Amino acid sequence: MDDRYNKRGVSSKKEDVHNALKNIDKGIFPSAFCKIIPDYLGGDQSFCNIMHSDGAGTKSSLAYLYYRETGDISVFKGIAMDSIVMNVDDLICVGCTDNLIISSTIGRNPSFISGDIIKTLIEANEEIANWYTKNGIKMTLTGGETADVGDLVRTLIVDTTITARMKKTDVIDNGRIKENLAIVGLSSSGKANFENEYNSGIGSNGLTSARHDVFNEIYKKNYPESFNPLMPYDVVYSGPYKLTDKVESLPLDMGRAVLSPTRTYAFVVKEILSSFKDKVYGIIHCSGGGQTKCLKFGENVHYVKNNLFEIPPLFKIIKDVSGTGYKEMYQVFNMGHRLEIFTEESVAQKIIDISKSYNIDAKIIGYTKKSEKNKLTLTSPDGEIEYMV
């Protein structure tokens, strides 16, 4: 797997990025999920500021393929959602659930990405901001940058930056994660009551691997602009499926399943924090690093995940067609839940009930205990897997 990642120009662990950042100031809450700085915007010592950037990653290239094959331009609305949610759902992990100011950055190759696609993305950003606001999380779109960078970008890159201001007393600091806590997982798949269709749960991580392992070689012949021409051909679109293929285990075709817009948990978390903030010791967005993301937080914590959700069908398909082992799958993909809340067992069921009221399945997926250093023990269908810092 490491060899395939390297050939595709990606890394599951991003060691070089983490090494580059290890000496950078981590803000006024060093153990928080996002970097938090003093209130430079308002000058109030009781407040703090957050600025965060993320994007849809290589998922946008898959949207391009789907559009070219089907003419369905609406898939780019999902890419706009991916880019925004990947930021919002990082911010909710520090307790920031309102008054979000967003800016969009789009880099396109105009030889392949038309003005209609750009228009769809920009209008989708406005629709999504209004949707969040109508559902109780005020979001303001300030504009952004759209650049023609065809000599750098083969198709499309969609990123978002969010700025927010919040009270320091409202911050969820993952440094509070300790032993004897229940881990409540919120499902990544299914159909939440605010979603329009079934969500495969894939989110916006591991898409380079997913799209090349799942989809057929016909696409490297028909759309060479959708991948790096320096990649060895044996790792480019090496899977069995066409974008519009149907499989029995999924209610969507394969293209739309992999393009499922990243689910937001913001509405759920806002309601949970309104009632149980003092009982929430940490929140982790299982994005980059998948189920091993927790290892970055807390001190001397042994994370035990022994009651995970059944693996959603899409992840089973990815595993089967790629031949990837479970240890790697859980490190790249969320595999069934993308948000973890660390709480006391006495309130875990109430948090679960709130999540289920949004038709998002939730359950206690594990617990924490004391350890000499951070580690994770995870129960997979093949037995226990251990990960160390």
User: Which segments of the chain does DSSP mark as H helices, in order?
Assistant: 2-8, 15-21, 59-70, 75-91, 115-134, 207-214, 218-222, 254-258, 266-276, 313-322, 326-332, 345-357
Whether the CB-CB separation of 226 and 167 falls below 8 Å is answered with no
Residue 20 has a pLDDT of 73
Residue 353 has a pLDDT of 98
Whether the CB-CB separation of 288 and 331 falls below 8 Å is answered with no
208 inside domain:
no
pTM here?
A: 0.95
205 inside domain:
no
**Cα 36 from Cα 172, distance rounded (Å):** 11
220 inside domain:
no
User: How far is CA 123 from each of CA 77, 80, 110, 158, 300, rounded to the nearest angstrom?
Assistant: 8, 9, 18, 14, 46
Residue 32 has a pLDDT of 97
355 inside domain:
yes
207 inside domain:
no
Residue 12 has a pLDDT of 59
**Cα 106 from Cα 122, distance rounded (Å):** 9
Domain count, the chain: 1
Residue 4 has a pLDDT of 73
Residue 122, exposed/middle/buried by CB under 10 A (0-12, 13-18, 19+)?
middle
242 inside domain:
no
φ/ψ of residue 384, rounded to 5: -75, 140
CATH of the domain at 276: 3.30.1330.10
Residue 278 belongs to domain spanning = 2-197+259-388
Q: What is residue 325's three-state secondary structure?
A: coil
**Cα 124 from Cα 113, distance rounded (Å):** 16
Tens digit of pLDDT at every position of the chain (389 positions): 667 777 787 765 666 766 777 778 899 999 999 999 999 999 999 999 999 999 999 999 999 999 999 999 999 999 999 999 999 999 999 999 999 999 999 999 999 999 999 999 999 999 999 999 999 999 999 999 999 999 999 999 999 999 999 999 999 999 999 999 999 999 999 999 999 999 999 999 999 999 999 999 999 999 999 999 999 999 999 999 999 999 999 999 999 999 999 999 999 999 999 999 999 999 999 999 999 999 999 999 999 999 999 999 999 999 999 999 999 999 999 999 999 999 999 999 999 999 999 999 999 999 999 999 999 999 999 999 999 98
171 inside domain:
yes
227 inside domain:
no
- Side-chain half-sphere of 347: how many Cα atoms within 13 Å? 16
